[in-house]
Amino acid sequence: MTYLTKTAVILTLLATAACTDTAGGFFGGNSGSDISGAGIGNIDESSLEYFQVSIGSTVLFAVDQSSLSGATIAILNAQAGWLNANSAVTLVIEGHADERGTREYNIALGSKRASSVRDYLVSQGIADSRISVVSYGKERPIAVCSNASCWSQNRRAVTIVNGGMGV
């Protein structure tokens, strides 16, 4: 039942999925306060929900770094396993940065982070052609406070399956 506790992540997925087909739907409305997680029931292991909730779509980075930590690699191994089992799925990797850098540098930094994740997934057997990347720099924070607890959440790469756009 661990997946039922991660309701915020489910909500993020639903919000993202809801706006991927609208022009400029880059801002997932993930500020909702409640969701009926208990109503989801058994999740199909090939579902996008399972990928988001049980595997985890987000990996974090140290300040001004794009290298992958041990915890990050464990998540990416799980992502690769799922992606290998669900070979029809394409993915976009979003790279993000915290607010403690300039806009243009942070786009470049987010690009490095997204690319680090792509390179690792490719090394784990995922076809490069299934993966595209995009960097949002510091323009799409997920946590809004101005201290280390929020900045650490914003230094992230998010694997979006079957959605979004990238290069």
Partner 1 sequence: MAVLHRITSAVFGLLLAISVSVVPGSAQQPTLTIDVTGGVIEPVPFAIPSFIAENAASSAIANKITRVIAEDLLSTGLFREIAKAAHISGVSNFNAPVQFADWRAINSQALIVGAVNASGNRLTVKFRLFDVFAQAPMGDGVQLSGSLDNWRRIAHKVADAVYSRLTGETGYFDSKIVFVSEAGPKNDRRKRLAIMDHDGAGLAYLTNDDALVLSPRFSPNNREILYTSYETGVPRVYQMNVDTLQRRVFTNLPGMGFAPRFSPDGRKIVMSISERGNTDIYAVDSQSGRRTRLTSGPAIDTSPSFSPDGKQIVFESDRGGSQQLYILSAKGGDAKRISFGNGRYATPVWSPRGDLIAFTKIAGNRFHIGVMRVDGTQERLLTASFIDEAPTWSPNGRVLMFFRVSSGANGAPQIYSIDITGRNLHRISTPNFASDPAWSGLLK
Residues in contact with partner 1 by CB under 8 A are 23-24, 26-27, 29-31, 66, 99-105, 107-109, 111-112, 114-116, 118-119, 133-136, 139-146, 164-167
CB atoms within 10 A of CB 96: 27
Closest approach, Cβ 150 to partner 1, in A, equals: 8
The pair phi, psi for residue 65, each rounded to 5°, is: -120, 155
Closest approach, Cβ 43 to partner 1, in A, equals: 27
What are residue 6's DSSP bridge partners?
none
Closest CB to partner 1 among residues 21, 44: 21
Closest CB to partner 1 among residues 4, 101: 101
The answer for 56, left when phi > 0, alpha when psi is -120 to 50, beta otherwise, is left
Closest approach, Cβ 75 to partner 1, in A, equals: 19
Closest approach, Cβ 29 to partner 1, in A, equals: 7
**Using CA of residue 93, residue 117, residue 97, residue 145, what is the dihedral sign?**
positive
